[in-house]
């Protein structure tokens, strides 16, 4: 490298001199140490609040508040002290800044260092990819009974109020109101809705029980004068959302419909965490899957259900296979035999089993659950627009590692050939 070259590159680096404090290794070390604490605490907390709770409290936040676990040694005193833990978005963001700043100010593009640069570049890509994934990835489920076909997905989390006009035999119209809009006291209207909707109360989880007929309902369902809430005389109590992995969150919504002449009535809607078709198991509550509302010559159905997404194609389940190693309870195969029916009348047969998902239209269908006796399968469906980023990052990192390894190997071999190896 000539001295002019050196000067040029120094100038180029100089353009970013103001980034130098951000690029310091000390900052890197501090951030890494803090991430150790974050990851450790968030892992511990999964016992208490489940993986989703830990995600929203620590990883998908700027700062999380941690209390020392009560059941640990000294917990009865230490438990009361709230400790702020830097969150994933904060640390992730700062680490990206730190790495990029280091890139811009400090890193040298020499043969010796190319490997290191590439590794760090890959790590930036991984971090950015994870941030984007965390923000954009959608997880849904699809349950199909044997012999039937399904053309929609249901989100694992989050509900919507669906008002469906089924009057037209050729085509149904769905008006979906997402959970985020269901705020108490909110008046909602939409061009496709012939009435206004007033949210009386809404919650993501509740306890409900059928009160004896004749008794008056109090509290959240007091005003309900239509539908299942009335006929089954349901009383509900609001509950905190349960974040654990086997949580059963029954969302509820009390809403009133009004139009220009006044109120049409007040309904209660409940969402079943495993999908509203489960309501049909109970005779009294069956209508929660579809509560009829008749207005101006049209039949509407209301249901609070997991957020749905309709697909331009459908998947039909031909059969399932669930096998165990003989004499054990260890499964060795879950397999669904499906046909993908696309809108242009094309079909595609596919086998979905462990480690082999079905990929179609930017979505990936994974074998998730299966019920052998009742002959249905459940797919986990994921749309992750940035799914390619980790793969690219891996390739960059691998090249970097390989480069670095070869560089050292060559240096080592040269050293060894020039000098005889040291004895003991």
Under rule CB under 8 A, which residues in 175-204 are in contact with other proteins?
Answer: 175-178, 180-181, 188, 190-192
Q: Does 354 bind other proteins (CB under 8 A)?
A: yes
Q: Report the sign of the C-alpha dihedral through residues 228, 233, 239, 243, in that order.
A: negative
> Considering beta carbons, is residue 118 or 207 the nearer one to other proteins?
118
Which residues contact residue 29 at a Cβ distance below 8 angstroms, ignoring those fewer than 6 apart?
none
> Considering beta carbons, is residue 181 or 410 the nearer one to other proteins?
181
> Considering beta carbons, is residue 28 or 258 the nearer one to other proteins?
28
Helix H, strand E, coil C: the string for 256-317 is EEEECCEEEEEEEEECCCCCHHHHHHCCCCHHHHCEEEEECCEEEEEEEEEEEEEEEEEEEE
Stretch of 62-70, 78-86, 203-211, 287-295 lying at the interface with other proteins (CB under 8 A): 287-295
**Among 7, 12, 282, 409, contact with other proteins (rule: CB under 8 A):** 12
Q: Does 345 bind other proteins (CB under 8 A)?
A: no
Q: H helices within 106-136, ranges in order?
A: 111-136
Buried b / exposed e along 398-416 (16+ C-beta atoms within 10 A): ebbeebbeebeeeeeeeee
Q: Does 275 bind other proteins (CB under 8 A)?
A: no
**Among 3, 81, 216, 373, contact with other proteins (rule: CB under 8 A):** 373
Q: How far is the CB of 43 from other proteins (least distance, A)?
A: 5
**Among 14, 47, 83, 361, contact with other proteins (rule: CB under 8 A):** 47
Identify any residues that bridge with 269 across adjacent strands, giving them in sequence order.
253
Task: Give, as ranges, the residues between 221 and 240 that touch other proteins (CB under 8 A).
Answer: 225-226, 230-231
**CA quadruple 200, 205, 210, 214: dihedral, nearest 10:** -20
Q: Does 296 bind other proteins (CB under 8 A)?
A: yes
Q: Does 330 bind other proteins (CB under 8 A)?
A: yes
Q: Does 50 bind other proteins (CB under 8 A)?
A: yes
**Among 364, 392, 399, 407, contact with other proteins (rule: CB under 8 A):** 364
- Distance separating alpha carbons of residues 279 and 281, to the nearest angstrom: 5
The length of the chain in residues reads 424
Nearest to 365 by CA among 304, 306, 316: 316
> Considering beta carbons, is residue 160 or 207 the nearer one to other proteins?
160
Nearest to 154 by CA among 140, 139, 137: 140
Q: How far is the CB of 270 from other proteins (least distance, A)?
A: 19
> Considering beta carbons, is residue 55 or 350 the nearer one to other proteins?
55
**Among 7, 14, 21, 32, contact with other proteins (rule: CB under 8 A):** 32
What binding mask, one character per residue, do residues 76-115 give for other proteins by CB under 8 A, x or -?
A: --------------------x---x--xx-x--xxx--x-
Task: Give, as ranges, the residues between 119 and 158 that touch other proteins (CB under 8 A).
Answer: 121, 124, 126, 128-130, 132-133, 135, 137, 139, 151-152
- Distance separating alpha carbons of residues 323 and 198, to the nearest angstrom: 50
Q: Report the sign of the C-alpha dihedral through residues 290, 291, 292, 298, in that order.
A: negative
- Distance separating alpha carbons of residues 187 and 185, to the nearest angstrom: 6
What binding mask, one character per residue, do residues 297-316 give for other proteins by CB under 8 A, x or -?
A: xxx-x--------x------
Determine how many CB atoms are found less than 10 A away from the CB of residue 208. 19
Stretch of 32-40, 199-207, 215-223, 249-257 lying at the interface with other proteins (CB under 8 A): 32-40
SS3 call for 131: helix
């Amino acid at each position: 490298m000539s001295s002019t070259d050196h000067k040029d590159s120094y100038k180029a680096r100089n353009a970013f001199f103001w980034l130098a404090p951000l690029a310091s290794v000390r900052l890197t070390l501090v951030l890494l140490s803090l991430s150790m604490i974050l990851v450790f605490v968030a892992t511990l907390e999964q016992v208490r609040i489940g993986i989703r709770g830990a995600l929203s409290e620590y990883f998908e936040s700027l700062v999380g508040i941690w209390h020392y676990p009560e059941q640990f040694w000294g917990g009865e005193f230490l438990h009361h002290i709230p400790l702020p833990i830097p969150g994933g978005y904060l640390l992730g963001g700062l680490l990206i800044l730190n790495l990029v700043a280091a890139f811009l100010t400090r890193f040298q593009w020499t043969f010796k260092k190319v490997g290191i640069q590439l590794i760090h570049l890959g790590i930036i890509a991984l971090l950015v990819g994870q941030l984007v994934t965390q923000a954009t990835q959608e997880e849904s489920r699809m349950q199909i009974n044997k012999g039937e076909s399904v053309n929609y997905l249901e989100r694992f989390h989050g509900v919507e109020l669906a008002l469906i006009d089924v009057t037209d035999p050729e085509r149904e119209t769905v008006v979906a109101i997402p959970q985020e809009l269901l705020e108490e006291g909110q008046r909602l209207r939409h061009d496709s809705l012939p009435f206004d909707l007033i949210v009386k109360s809404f919650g993501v989880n509740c306890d409900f029980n059928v009160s004896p007929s004749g008794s008056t309902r109090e509290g959240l369902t007091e005003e309900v004068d239509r539908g299942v809430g009335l006929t089954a005389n349901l009383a509900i109590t609001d509950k905190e959302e349960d974040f654990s992995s086997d949580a059963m969150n029954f969302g509820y919504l009390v809403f009133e419909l009004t139009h220009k002449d006044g109120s049409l009535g007040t309904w209660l809607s409940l969402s079943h965490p495993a999908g509203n078709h489960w309501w049909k198991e109970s005779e009294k509550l069956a209508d929660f899957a579809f509560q009829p509302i008749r207005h101006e010559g049209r039949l509407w159905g209301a249901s609070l259900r997991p957020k749905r997404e309709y697909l331009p194609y459908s998947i039909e389940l031909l059969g399932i296979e669930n096998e165990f190693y003989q004499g054990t309870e260890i499964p060795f195969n879950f397999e669904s035999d499906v046909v993908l029916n696309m809108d242009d009348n094309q079909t595609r047969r596919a086998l979905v089993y462990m480690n082999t998902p079905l990929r179609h239209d930017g979505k990936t269908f994974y074998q998730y659950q299966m019920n052998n006796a009742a002959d249905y399968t459940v797919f986990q469906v994921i749309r992750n627009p940035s799914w390619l980023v980790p793969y690219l990052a891996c390739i960059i990192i691998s090249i970097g590692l390989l480069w670095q390894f070869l560089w050292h190997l060559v240096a080592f071999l040269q050293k060894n050939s020039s000098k005889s190896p040291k004895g003991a």
